[in-house]
Amino acid sequence: METSIEKFRGILKGNTLIVDEPQAIEWLKSRGYGSGEVQRSLKFHEALYLLEQNKLEVVDRKNKTLSFDELLRRAEKYDNKVLYKYLIYRDLRNRGYIVVDGYGLGIDFNVYERGGFPNDTPKILVFGLCEGVSISFEELIKVLKVAQANRKMLVLTVIDRRNEVVYYTISRLV
């Protein structure tokens, strides 16, 4: 039976957003949001997305309800790349992909092909950059080697100056 939920509450505790309502936990888990079984911990980009989608109400320890902008400001204290991660995350989610955190080396996200979650493994690794920020060729080669070793497609995702997301597939290193 499909779990349906109108809106749920998350509590911001430092750099973690915690959801502890059982129905919300099940809804989040079934859609690939957050981590944890007893309570669900959401990353800032996930929380911002769910807040924008009007699924999540965020409160701080003093029970003050936070707006999108207030949550973003607080998140930027912990992660100066949170805005670009959110923009990439939002774009991929809006395109119908399930997006989970990457695993180091600058890989921001693992992306499941449409319909692949939760039974398959993620097939796409997303490496995000902002336009105008340089990256060394060696660093890019390292990330590509990780993708190839794991038989995944590497997608270089660039946030341009208008905050639009542009995707480049890097497919092969001979």
pLDDT, one tens digit for every residue, the chain (174 residues):
455 678 999 999 989 999 999 999 999 999 999 999 889 999 999 999 999 999 999 999 999 999 999 999 999 999 999 999 999 999 999 999 999 988 776 789 999 988 889 889 999 999 999 988 888 989 888 888 888 888 999 999 999 999 999 999 987 655
Cβ atoms 125, 149 nearer than 8 A:
no
Structure tokens at 121: 């493994």
Does residue 97 share a domain with residue 164? Answer: yes
Task: Assess if residue 3 is contained within a domain.
Answer: no
Q: Which residues pair with 110 in a beta bridge?
A: 100, 125
pLDDT of residue 170: 83
Residue 2 lies in a domain: no
Same domain membership, residue 97 and residue 29: no
Distances in Å between the Cα of 98 and the Cα atoms of 77, 91, 122 are 26, 11, 9
Q: Is the same domain home to 88 and 139?
A: yes
Q: How far apart are CA 33 and CA 112, in angstroms?
A: 13
Contacts of 36 (CB under 8 A, 6+ apart): 25
What's the number of domains the chain is made of?
A: 2
Mark which of 50, 76, 102 sits at the end of a domain.
76
Based on the domain organization, do 70 and 86 belong to the same domain? no
* Predicted pLDDT at 118: 87
Looking at the fold, whether 97 and 166 belong to one and the same domain comes out as: yes
- Would 96 be classed as within a structural domain? yes
In-domain check, residue 58? yes
Q: Can you give the pLDDT at residue 1?
A: 44
Say if 1 falls within a structural domain: no
pLDDT of res. 3: 56
- C-alpha triplet 127, 128, 133: angle, nearest 5°: 125
How far apart are alpha carbons 116 and 99 in whole angstroms? 11
Residues 6+ positions from 44 with CB-CB distance below 8 Å: 15, 17, 71, 75, 78, 79, 82, 85, 86
Instruction: Answer with the one of 76, 94, 113 that is the final residue of a domain.
Output: 76
Same domain, 47 and 67: yes
Around 113, how many Cα atoms within 13 Å sit in the side-chain half-sphere? 7
Q: Which domain holds residue 123?
A: 82-170
The tokens describing 127, both together, are 């490496």
What amino acid is encoded at 27 in this protein?
W
Tokens 């749920």, residue located: 8
**Are 72 and 86 contained in the same domain?**
no
Which residue carries 């204290």 as its tokens? Answer: 77
- Report the CATH number that the domain containing residue 41 is assigned in CATH: 3.40.1170.20
Q: Quick one: 88 and 156 in the same domain?
A: yes
